[in-house]
Chain A
């Protein structure tokens, strides 16, 4: 068992989830409640990682954020190091790949909160922040939990983008999924089996949480 890789995977999943959720909440609320030109285009862009091969995404990340690319130079000037082939680069790639997994459940959840409830909250004297905390979030929380669990589980399982953007650097970018591939290549099937089982168990629990919440939300609505 490559404990370093497992820790890295969990850290990556945690960071991705923590950074992505607030962003996704902002995007999902805007998509749920606002009408603006190009909304369909934005929705399509967010859904793109669902259908695109991760290698394509990784390729464009490399092109856009590589050391010779403007974005990469900008990052390097600001933080004193390259973005690609680092843990920060992995997080950035992971954020992009997981956008649909976080935004879509949240958007559905916010869409289900009637606009009148927000108006009723404002008329009751709740500020916009208090309306979000006391009315919107409690009503949308199954969506939030789904978004968190899906993002977490999906990040653990991500392979293509991680390999493209991060490579296979032990302790820096070698996640469990890369380590499994690495072990299989080296015919170390036992190690691969243990890590695969661990990943399977964690993913199953995460997805189980999503479906369990879905059931509870259904029961509550009845």
Chain B
């Protein structure tokens, strides 16, 4: 099965537990996301060949780089993986130009300097070729590291938190540059990040990792809105994850009745759950619509839920609201569930939102996503 792009399956119990499978096609940018310690960097290092996992197989463009079962383990020199380290790992005693030229061993000697200059120009570093790393800013160092990784004409480009060590402004700029540069990179690219917004903005696909295990693979949209499990939902920073029971099914309208405490909600039916089943469910904050006080609208008939404002925080132009759901939605006693959503600061003021105030929202039925309950 000689397929284009990268396929990796890695498994080991220690020192860093791994049970991950990932795939990345040419031209595709795959984001490996997960909390610190999820094994993201370990996976990149295993793909690059600087560490050897206990079990698994890594193949790239039909070449088997690693296969524990067949005792194949190509050294990093042979794998042609361009790796941008988290703190860049530039050679401190070499100029930017020499750092890039170090990775041009496969190019005829006479052509190396011109190629290195072209790569530095590609990452907007013309004029800084003679600088050593300690005379470059964080963002410039990242670009040298990227140019050095590209110099190998990598079969796969691996980026380990490439924007973590720079300030916010530089980060935005570098992210934009990477998005533009991607058009010129044919190699499959794997980006390790714990920044979900970054992953969603840059990646074609995402793989969610937790304690070394890959939990879900899909587009950023799928993973944000259709997480495979409550754990993925929480790792994706979804605040509204609850439990409930499927109470009935309206096949004609393609809807399920979802019992949430004493409230019954209508939810999109994807056919995976039957009446009577316990489920976990979630709704993205963006699919919670606040009702306006003075001007009720038709949309308010969709899954209306009311409660009291438990927390109200203003972040610039946005107000973050936590609504303690009334009407007996709670599964038990006073631990009534909290719905988290955002409105514009302007809307919050006009509706006189305040802690303790009553408010009503609609939960958009199409956005309610059901998942198997947690074991």
Given the known interface contacts A116-B85, A138-B93, A139-B93, the answer about A122 and B103 at a Cβ–Cβ threshold of 8 Å is: no
- Among B89, B106, B152, the residue within 8 A (CB) of A117 is B89
A135 contacts which chain B residues (CB < 8 A)? 91
- Among B89, B106, B151, the residue within 8 A (CB) of A119 is B89
B91 A126 Cβ-Cβ under 8 A: no
- A134 interfacial by beta-carbon distance below 8 Å: yes
Given contacts A127-B77, A139-B93, 12 further A-B contacts (CB under 8 A): A117-B89, A117-B92, A119-B45, A119-B76, A119-B83, A119-B85, A120-B90, A122-B49, A124-B151, A125-B77, A125-B105, A125-B106
A119 contacts which chain B residues (CB < 8 A)? 45, 48, 50, 76, 83, 85, 89
A122 B76 Cβ-Cβ under 8 A: yes
Query: In the bound complex, what is the Cα–Cα distance between A135 and B91 (angstroms)?
Result: 7
Query: In the bound complex, what is the Cα–Cα distance between A119 and B76 (angstroms)?
Result: 8
Query: In the bound complex, what is the Cα–Cα distance between A127 and B80 (angstroms)?
Result: 13
- B238 interfacial by beta-carbon distance below 8 Å: no
B93 A126 Cβ-Cβ under 8 A: no
CB distance from B347 to the nearest CB of A (A): 49
CB distance from A182 to the nearest CB of B (A): 48
Question: What is B's interface to A at a CB cutoff of 8 Å?
Answer: 45, 48-50, 75-77, 80-83, 85, 87, 89-93, 102-103, 105-106, 148-149, 151-152
Instruction: Flag A171-206 by CB within 8 Å of B: 1 or 0 each.
Output: 000000000000000000000000000000000000
CB distance from B42 to the nearest CB of A (A): 13
- Among A116, A117, A126, the residue within 8 A (CB) of B105 is A126
- Among B49, B82, B102, B152, the residue within 8 A (CB) of A134 is B102
A126 B48 Cβ-Cβ under 8 A: no
> Majority SS of interface residues in chain B?
loop
- A121 interfacial by beta-carbon distance below 8 Å: yes
Question: What is A's interface to B at a CB cutoff of 8 Å?
Answer: 114, 116-117, 119-127, 130, 134-135, 138-139
Query: In the bound complex, what is the Cα–Cα distance between A134 and B103 (angstroms)?
Result: 12
CB distance from B341 to the nearest CB of A (A): 43
A124 B152 Cβ-Cβ under 8 A: yes
B83 A121 Cβ-Cβ under 8 A: no
A123 B92 Cβ-Cβ under 8 A: no
B102 A124 Cβ-Cβ under 8 A: yes
B91 A122 Cβ-Cβ under 8 A: no
Task: Provide a sorted-by-A list of 26 A–B residue pairs whose CB atoms are within 8 angstroms.
Answer: A116-B85, A117-B89, A119-B45, A119-B48, A119-B83, A119-B89, A120-B85, A120-B89, A120-B90, A120-B91, A121-B91, A121-B102, A122-B49, A122-B50, A123-B50, A123-B83, A124-B102, A124-B105, A124-B151, A125-B77, A125-B80, A125-B103, A125-B106, A134-B102, A135-B91, A139-B92
B102 A123 Cβ-Cβ under 8 A: no
Query: In the bound complex, what is the Cα–Cα distance between A119 and B83 (angstroms)?
Result: 9
Query: In the bound complex, what is the Cα–Cα distance between A97 and B106 (angstroms)?
Result: 45
CB distance from B65 to the nearest CB of A (A): 13
Query: In the bound complex, what is the Cα–Cα distance between A210 and B151 (angstroms)?
Result: 38
B103 contacts which chain A residues (CB < 8 A)? 124-125
CB distance from A14 to the nearest CB of B (A): 28
A116 B89 Cβ-Cβ under 8 A: yes
Query: In the bound complex, what is the Cα–Cα distance between A126 and B152 (angstroms)?
Result: 11
B91 contacts which chain A residues (CB < 8 A)? 117, 120-121, 135
Q: Which residue of A124, A125, A138 has the most chain B CB atoms within 10 A of its CB atom?
A: A124
B87 contacts which chain A residues (CB < 8 A)? 116
Query: In the bound complex, what is the Cα–Cα distance between A114 and B76 (angstroms)?
Result: 17
Query: In the bound complex, what is the Cα–Cα distance between A124 and B92 (angstroms)?
Result: 15
Query: In the bound complex, what is the Cα–Cα distance between A138 and B98 (angstroms)?
Result: 14
Chain A residue nearest to B90 in the complex (CB): A120
Q: Which 3 pairs from chain A and chain B are nearest by CB?
A: A124-B103, A120-B89, A122-B76
A124 contacts which chain B residues (CB < 8 A)? 102-103, 105, 148, 151-152
B148 contacts which chain A residues (CB < 8 A)? 120, 124
A116 contacts which chain B residues (CB < 8 A)? 85, 87, 89
CB distance from B151 to the nearest CB of A (A): 8
CB distance from B234 to the nearest CB of A (A): 32
Query: In the bound complex, what is the Cα–Cα distance between A11 and B149 (angstroms)?
Result: 48
A134 contacts which chain B residues (CB < 8 A)? 102
Query: In the bound complex, what is the Cα–Cα distance between A72 and B227 (angstroms)?
Result: 75
